[in-house]
Amino acid sequence: MLRYFLLLGGTECLVPPYVSQRSNDVGLVSQRNCRKRSSGRVVLLGSGIPPEYPTHDGPVDSGGGPILKGVILGGGSFGLAMAHVLGRKGVAVTLLMRNRLDAETININRRHPRYLSDIEVPVPTCATTDEKEALRDASFLVHCVPVQHSRRYLRKIAKLVPTGVPVLCTSKGIDRKSLNLMCKILPSQLGEGRSYAFLSGPSFAREIAEGLATAVVVASEDRRVAFDFRDLLASESFRVFTSADVVGLEVGGAVKNVLALAAGMCEGLDLGTNAVTALVTRGLYEMQRIALAMGGRASTIAGLSGVGDTFGTCFGPLSRNRNTGVRLGRGERLDDILADMGEVAEGVETAFALERLIKKSHKSYRLDLKFPIIFGVAEILRGDRTPREGLEALMGLPLRPEFIAPVSDAQANRRRPLIVVSDYEIGDSDEDDRDIDFAD
């Protein structure tokens, strides 16, 4: 849970703007949520925080209440965007970065020299490369490190992260080595004894930083954690919905990047609106198949973190994955594109990870017919086919019904997941792919 440390002055609480005061929300400010410390001062803790949760000995604001300090792991575009979200709520933010020169430039000029360099970083934000100092009195973490680098990065800082500090993850993808989502990677590196939440949805970093209207979803297995992060982040320009379906949210955020590569290839080949629309729609079908097989919900895929994020990434001009696909469709080499971008296109590694995950977890024959878009993108990225050959192959697939049988959340939740992901291996299920009910 987030640490809402509020000193009481007489009978009146000092309530920062980021703490909800609605009676039905977690983090309610009231006398019954307060306890007295040995010093005689009364400290308010957010609902559900265990008594042993560490107290805040850091700086206090002008009103006498301690400052809630957020640490953003990663100083890329989305880390900067989250600094803007939190800065608008008056939350003190530290950007923990790798590049010392970038950190110094932010602190002096209030701008990142490479990412979103035309937008001023909000005043409550500071940047550092000193991991020990940044994490020492952190109230919460926001993880914005790319998925493929997350396991090693988290292992490096794990001993420095204070016990019980909650983590909000914004990274989207599947680790190519372990085939795990971030909901497995984070606890494996930082421990099970803390709260985790995951943010996804159509959310381009530039538009967030500019204060344009954005809607996202925060998912957590503990609804109180989701509510706390919702109240911490939400503003007039940043609307936050909540969910308990962590797996569905993460699958949507991972698969949509692969679909964006395919959509971009369609555009690069000038195949027209009909082709790209059909491809994205059928890609969502593959996304839903994977989510249900892993224990997610169909309704999550139909929401902001599935369809919503897919639309934004496949059709939005700011999408790195879509733009990578466009350049592939126009005949550029993948290595040259990635070297020129300067930022990560998660869909590339995710395509290979999904291909391996599906092959290890499904026993049915001709998986390329059940996941033709995901498998096709992986083949193109490997160089086995050109983009034109791959997309033409989709048009030559056997004719069949669009859907066999729709699946409701109730039906899906009565079954155990068909894809079981551990920290280092994939367990095959004894069940046949037909048990998903909408197999072709």
CA count, 13 A, side-chain hemisphere, 297: 15
Residue of 206, 254, 237 lying closest to 80 (CA atoms): 206
Yes or no: is domain 248-436 CATH 1.20.120.550?
Answer: no
State the pLDDT at residue 208.
98
Q: Give dist(CA 1, CA 189) in Å, integer.
A: 19
pLDDT band at residue 343, thresholds of 50, 70 and 90? confident
State the pLDDT at residue 31.
27
Whole-Å CA distances, 296 to 10, 173, 418, 435: 48, 15, 11, 15
Q: What is the pLDDT of residues 98-129, one digit of tens each?
A: 999 999 999 999 999 999 999 999 988 999 99
In the predicted model, is pLDDT for residue 47 greater than 80? no
> What length is written for the chain?
440
State the pLDDT at residue 415.
54
Whole-Å CA distances, 438 to 248, 288, 293, 370, 399: 17, 10, 11, 10, 16
More confident of the two residues 36 and 189: 189
Q: Give dist(CA 117, CA 209) in Å, integer.
A: 11
Residues 6 or more apart in contact with residue 363 via CB below 8 angstroms? 428, 432, 433
Domain boundaries, the chain: 8-244, 248-436
Helices (H), 24-146: 77-88, 100-109, 131-135
Q: Which of the following is catalytic: 69, 89, 172, 256? A: 256
Please say if 256 is a catalytic residue.
yes
In the predicted model, is pLDDT for residue 11 greater than 80? no
Architecture of the domain whose range is 8-244:
3-Layer(aba) Sandwich (3.40)
User: In whole numbers, what is the pLDDT of the chain averaged over residues?
Assistant: 81
95, 70 contact by CB (below 8 A):
no
- As a whole-number percent, the residues of the chain with pLDDT over 70 amount to 75
In the predicted model, is pLDDT for residue 328 greater than 70? yes
Tell me how many degrees the CA angle 389-350-318 measures, rounded to the nearest 5. 80
More confident of the two residues 435 and 244: 244
| 93-97, 271-275, 339-343, 376-380, range with the lowest pLDDT | 339-343
